[in-house]
Amino acid sequence: MLKAEFNSHILNFKTPGGTSRGVLTQKPSWFIKVWDDNQPSIKGVGEISVLPKLSPDDRPDIEDKIGEVCTSINDYRNGFHEKLLNWPAIRFGLETALMDLKQGGKQTLFHTNFTKGKSGIPINGLIWMGTKESMEQQIREKLNAGFNCLKMKIGAIDFEEEYRLLENLRKTFSAKTLEIRVDANGAFKPGKAPEILTRLAGLEIHSIEQPIKAGQWQEMAALCETSPLPVALDEELIGVTSLAEKKKLIQTIRPAYIILKPSLVGGFKASEEWIKLAEEHRSGWWITSALESNIGLNAIAQWTSSLNNPMPQGLGTGQVFSNNIDNGLYIKNGMLWFKNQSGI
């Protein structure tokens, strides 16, 4: 018989993180622990990570639901993918906790060169929205740290300021030297987006994430069809749970890329459904963390390493917290590395 328990952990940002949805100073997570009653010393750990105002799990009754899952863990252990369709963060946390338990409770879920410490995962350096000066400082820090792919949040300050910042960056570093991605988090209006995308394409930007708000499939499809700049879907995938609806979305919008955040789309199994559909329709993809602590980030990174996608992934956000959990993850020369050690 399995048993389970959970505890909450509020993550504090070292520096407030600016997005088009507001500024973040804290972010909630819960850790779910699962064990076999016959071997109580071996526990699998998973993280339930919620982004305020974005995660479907961002609900007042989330702790009640986690408690229900823990109390009825033997009912949820099989079939939880279906039972937790509308709770993607809980689904991801339980999925990874059960995987960890199966592998001996050492937070080594996959056996790859990454988990053996033999290879790192190339990642993008994330530039948070803020004042022009703060964004310039972040860019300098990332470049000095060896990143050759930057992802810049845009859409919060005046676009002309953001454009000049990107323009100056491109004058210094060619597209061959530095890959630049931008993430609008749905900040632009459909009528204004084509002009903005055309201007960004002139700077040889790699791609733009979610230029307009999610839920506008026809407008997004028109952008993807006509834009000189590749469009990547991010928030658009959240809440799309059935295989039929996922297929309909991909076929309708036909994006250049999709970006998968396991905490927001329901874990690894759900993400692999998206990957299969994307590849069938010739869309690229990469994996991004969603402000998990190092517990969730570790699980996502290990899974990502098993997929053998050579593109820079979005897995560097664990650095932003002052009270993160040290579990062997570290960044060196623009790559995420893993040094195996015992968990929490």
The residue written with tokens 């963390």 in the block is 289
Give me the pLDDT at residue 158, please. 84
Most confidently predicted of 10-14, 89-93, 322-326: 89-93
Please identify which of the residues 43, 151, 153, 246 carries the catalytic annotation. 153
Residue 292 near residue 300 (C-beta atoms within 8 A): yes
Above pLDDT 70, what percent of the chain? 96
Q: Is 43 a catalytic residue?
A: no
Residue 257 near residue 287 (C-beta atoms within 8 A): no
Domains present along the chain, CATH in parentheses: 2-102 (3.30.390.10), 121-338 (3.20.20.120)
Q: Is 247 a catalytic residue?
A: no
Give the closest residue to 298 by CA, choosing from 146, 168, 115: 115
Strands 121-122 and 335-338: antiparallel
Within the chain, how many helices (H) and strands (E) appear? 12, 13
pLDDT tens, position by position, 61-87: 999 999 999 999 999 999 999 999 999
Tally of residues, the chain = 344
pLDDT tens, position by position, 195-245: 999 999 999 999 999 999 999 999 999 999 999 999 999 999 999 999 999
Average pLDDT estimate for 140-155: 91
Give me the pLDDT at residue 317, please. 66
Whether residue 344 is predicted with pLDDT greater than 80 in this model: the reply is: no
pLDDT tens, position by position, 246-289: 999 999 999 999 999 999 999 999 999 999 999 999 999 999 99
Q: How many CB atoms lie within 10 A of CB 221?
A: 17
Please identify which of the residues 261, 269, 276, 332 carries the catalytic annotation. 261
Q: What is the pTM of this model?
A: 0.94
